[in-house]
Amino acid sequence: MIVEDSAVVRQLLAHIVSRDPRLALAAALDSAEAALAELERVRPDVISMDIRLPGMDGLEATRRIMAERPTPIVVIADAVEERGLRISMNALRAGALTVVEKPLGPSREGWEGVAEAICTQLYIMSQVPVIRRRPSALAVPRPAPALPGATRPSLVGIAASTGGPPALARVLGALPSDFAVPVLVVQHMGAPFMEGFAAWLDGLVGPRVGIARDRELPRPGHVYVAPGDRHLGVTGGGLMQVSEAPPVGGQRPAADVLFSSMARFLGPRGMGILLTGMGEDGARGLATLHGAGGLTLAEDETTAVVYGMPAAAARLGGVSALLPLDLIGPRLLRAVGAEPS
């Protein structure tokens, strides 16, 4: 199902979908209200959702769909428009699975790549099981289990893919503004969205969040997000390293790059966390960090939107503990000697 108010873009998306043998167009609608009215009849496997709509916007539509008839949602957004970015990020928090760049037309440079990315995301996300989401008060985290013998980390690396933005908001939201250890983040997301993603996260959590800069010294109380289409790692001198090295496992940034560099240069002083995501990125790097003595956590299947990356790490024996999402933040605080209040 395509939900898009612009007739031109709606027709363009319909054309893109019609060219892909993996996909079939169930409906193309011009408003969220029309989509909700048709949802039960059409029963789509995946929804392409514009976020700037007349009347009800894509964020509220996402909330309603996830509460009434949970369906995988791919947000189609203009990556350079500030309000649209904010709505897109909040839609991810409300249950949408990913955000991709809105197509601009066959005459534009990079058109085929954008079209292929949209179709691939729609197909992949159509396979993701989603759950009903109803508004509720935040649960009080249960006590995190102790893990013996862990060295106090000097740097924390966190990686996520599908379902990552809300998971990262939950984990980082448990940290105080003066959190004693720098945090480096790899999130799989289209390059045009990374600045907006970092700004959105900065408005939700205590530590300062910004884009990582090459050769910069990471500081406590700060979270550094890998730039779009760039790897993020650390050097022997403790600096961040942002590079244009080739993709690893089809990903750039790649979690494997971050965790492997932490294993090499930090050993037991590095702590790695692998959250929800499709595929296996981060699994080998986390196992390497675990083998070097670092504390490694991964999100448990009970809370992961997609239990791909954490499961791969667990299969390799690279996880100190598999924890539900609401226990990861408290366990992180305990690791650095800052018990949650």
Pairing of strands 231-234, 240-243: antiparallel
DSSP 158-226: EEE-TTHHHHHHHHHHTS-TT-SS-EEEEE---GGGHHHHHHHHHTTSSSEEEE--TTPPP-TTEEEEP
DSSP 145: P
Active-site hit among 281, 290, 300, 320: 281
Total Cβ atoms within 10 A of residue 187: 24
Query: CA end-to-end span of the chain, whole Å?
Result: 45
Is residue 242 a contact partner of residue 230, using CB atoms and an 8 Å limit? Answer: yes
> Of 88, 161, 260, 320, which one is the catalytic site residue?
161
Would you call 31 a catalytic residue per the annotation?
A: no
Residue 29, strand partner residues: 3
Catalytic residue from among 50, 57, 78, 188: 188
Q: Enter the tokens of residue 106.
A: 């066959």
Three-state SS letters, 264-276 = HHCHHHEEEEECC
Residue pair 235/258 in contact (Cβ under 8 Å)? The answer is no
281 labelled catalytic: yes
Q: What is the rounded distance in angstroms from the CA atom of residue 74 to the CA atom of residue 17?
A: 13
**Whole-angstrom Cα distance, residue 96 to residue 166?**
10
- Kindly give the pairing relationship between strand 208-211 and strand 98-101: unpaired
Task: Compute the distance between CA of residue 282 and CA of residue 136 in angstroms, rounded to an integer.
Answer: 32
Rounded to the nearest 10 degrees, what angle do helices 82-94 and 164-173 cross at?
Answer: 80
What residues contact residue 146 under an 8 Å CB cut-off, 6+ apart? 334
Catalytic residues: 161, 188, 281
